[in-house]
Amino acid sequence: MTAPFTGYPARDLTICPYCLNQLDWSDYGELPLVKETPEGPDVLTRGPDEPETRWRHRTLGAMRQCRGNGEPHLLPADYGDLEPLVIGLVGDTATGKTHLLTAMIAQLERRRSLIARELRIEPLDGRLRQRFYDERVRPFLERHEVLGGTRPGQPEFAYALRVASRQTGRTHAVGFFDVPGEHYRRYSYEDTPFMSVADAVIYVADGSALRSGGGWNSWVPDPGFTHAITQLRQTRADGAGRLPPAVIVVTKSDVLDGLDDDDTVTRWLGRKDESDLDDLRSMLRESVDAGAFLRRHGAELWLDPLESGSQVTIHFASASGVSKPVQDATVFPDEGFGPKRVLRPLLSLFSMTGLLPRIDMDEPDEPPQFY
Ligand SMILES: Nc1nc2c(ncn2[C@@H]2O[C@H](COP(=O)(O)OP(=O)(O)OP(=O)(O)O)[C@@H](O)[C@H]2O)c(=O)[nH]1
Ligand SMILES: [Mg+2]
Ligand SMILES: [Zn+2]
């Protein structure tokens, strides 16, 4: 039995998603506003007679510095003023987490006008946005380059959004963590502190692992979800062991398109129904189809998140839309390039976490098993 959890933070305290300390966001002494300079972080303080406009101008682009446990780190300046929603990407090395997140964010920002009635979406932090676009979005989506594996380091937001939701009536700081898959292989949880406060999870499994040569793989690899599920279960504060809402995304689904006589992936990947919220109602049917598909092809381990008692939807997606011509190619082919169905998992998560209205999903032919 675990001891009752008594350490709930008071309402105005924020948990730092990097070091898990409780922060008082109103305390500028504890959490100074800083700007990065070549010589290191420069702490900003308002002069006694400094006019408001000048102070605001000087603090544009500043961040808040958390002392951590001796390893200071920078958080988006408004993070603690908004309602945080921490999203963790989980999955083994090279399953396609980074390409998926890149395509997902870029697609969300491009198509934000389509969901503008429900969500107002902006980047939360200029520095994160610039880095994400320079290092990921432009190389991958404009130049079709294959991105490198994610480097180890202190986990920090890969991206963060400011999302004003009509449904909640509040503005949320939605932050995404994307760490190297190797962190989910070890039985040390040092490298994934954010999973202890995650509000939603994107489980990523490599669709191409279902393939072997010209047919199906008879020994499908473990997608590396166990570590995260254990951590989530043991750190939930509600004591009921209920895990946060999650999506399971079968990435690189382009390689399964048209394989053998199973046309499940072809049918779903060919649908262009991710731009309109009304069309999201087919989510349940896709989940049921995808769950049956994964069982049929020996990937039961990929469905472990369903055992968690949380809401889960399952999706087929492809970040590139096309496969690389050869194993060690550094660019994707131009022909046919383009993300497919990368937005649906994120919109499903937004619905399950309450930022979007609960999607009234299609009745499937069989009784609902998921969500
Ligand atoms: N066919 C196809 N290949 C993809 C797709 N997305 C990624 N890949 C390939 O999969 C490899 C791994 O993708 P990443 O996104 O770097 O995987 P990751 O899970 O972030 O890997 P780590 O950062 O090492 O944990 C890439 O180098 C690409 O070759 C896709 O949509 N389709
Ligand atoms: Mg990566
Ligand atoms: Zn911290």
Q: What is the DSSP string of 262-284?
A: --HHHHHHT---SS-GGGGGGHH
Residue-wise pLDDT for 194-205, tens only, equals: 999 999 999 999
Q: What is the mean pLDDT of residues 327-353?
A: 94
Average pLDDT, integer, range 35-63: 92
Ligand 1 atom closest to Cα of 321? 31
Q: What is the pLDDT of residues 220-237, one digit of tens each?
A: 999 999 999 999 999 986
Separation of CA 214 and ligand 1 centre (Å): 20
The residue behind tokens 């808040």 is 64
- For residue 348, the model assigns a pLDDT of 93
Q: Which atom in ligand 1 lies closest to the alpha carbon of residue 255? A: 1
Using left for φ > 0, alpha for ψ between -120 and 50, and beta otherwise, residue 53 falls in alpha
Residue 238 corresponds to which tokens in the numbers above?
């509600």
Pocket test for ligand 1, best of 92, 93, 98 (most atoms within 8 A of CB): 98
- For 100-158, the pLDDT digits (tens) are 999 999 999 999 988 899 999 999 999 999 999 999 999 999 999 999 999 998 889 99
Question: How far is residue 52's CA from residue 46's CA, in Å, rounded to a whole number?
Answer: 9
CA–CA separation, 124 and 110 (whole Å): 16
pLDDT at residue 103, as a whole number = 98
The band of 362, judged by pLDDT with boundaries at 50, 70 and 90, is low
Q: What is the mean pLDDT of the chain?
A: 90
Distance CA 1, CA 269 (A): 45
Closest CA to 204 of 311, 316, 292, 371: 316
Q: For 95, phi and psi rounded to 5 degrees?
A: -80, -10
Contact 192, 230 (CB under 8 A): no
Work out the pLDDT band at 239, boundaries 50, 70, 90.
low
Map out the domains of the chain as residue ranges.
Answer: 13-80, 82-352
- Residue 363: which pLDDT band, with cuts at 50, 70 and 90? low
Give 349's DSSP letter: H
Residue type, 216: W
Counting from 1 in the atom list of ligand 1, the atom nearest the Cα of 101 is 15
- pLDDT per position as a tens digit, 255-312: 999 898 899 999 999 988 776 666 777 888 999 999 999 999 999 999 999 987 789 9
Residue 6: pLDDT band (50, 70, 90) is very low
Residue 288 CB: number of other CB atoms within 10 A?
Answer: 21
Angle at 356 between CA 351 and CA 357, to 5 degrees: 90
Q: Answer whether residue 4 shows pLDDT above 60.
A: no
pLDDT at residue number 78: 94
Going from the Cα of 24 to the center of ligand 3, the distance in angstroms, rounded, reads: 11
Q: Is the CB of 167 under 6 A from ligand 1?
A: no
Strand, helix or coil for residue 300: helix
CA distance 203 to 244: 12
As a CATH number, domain 82-352 is 3.40.50.300
Do 210 and 299 form a contact (C-beta atoms < 8 A)?
yes
Count how many residues are written for the chain. 371
Q: Which residue has the tokens 């046919």?
A: 336
- Whether 147 lines ligand 1, by a CB cut-off of 6 Å, is yes
Return the number of other C-beta atoms located less than 10 Å from residue 183's C-beta: 22
The closest-lying atom of ligand 1 relative to the alpha carbon of residue 317 is: 31
- Ligand sitting nearest the alpha carbon of 100: 1
For residue 181, give both structure tokens.
């898959």
- CB-based contacts of 371, cutoff 8 Å, min separation 6: 283, 284, 287, 311, 312, 313, 352, 361
Is residue 109 within 8 A of residue 100, CB to CB? The reply is no
Band (pLDDT 50/70/90 cuts) for residue 371 is: very low
Residues 6+ apart with CB under 8 A from 69: 19, 21
What is the spatial distance between Cα 164 and Cα 223, in angstroms, rounded to a whole number?
Answer: 34
Select from 92, 97, 99, 132 the residue to mutate for testing ligand 1; criterion: most ligand atoms less than 8 Å from CB: 99
Q: Which amino acid is at 273?
A: D
Cβ(99) – ligand 1 distance below 6 Å: yes
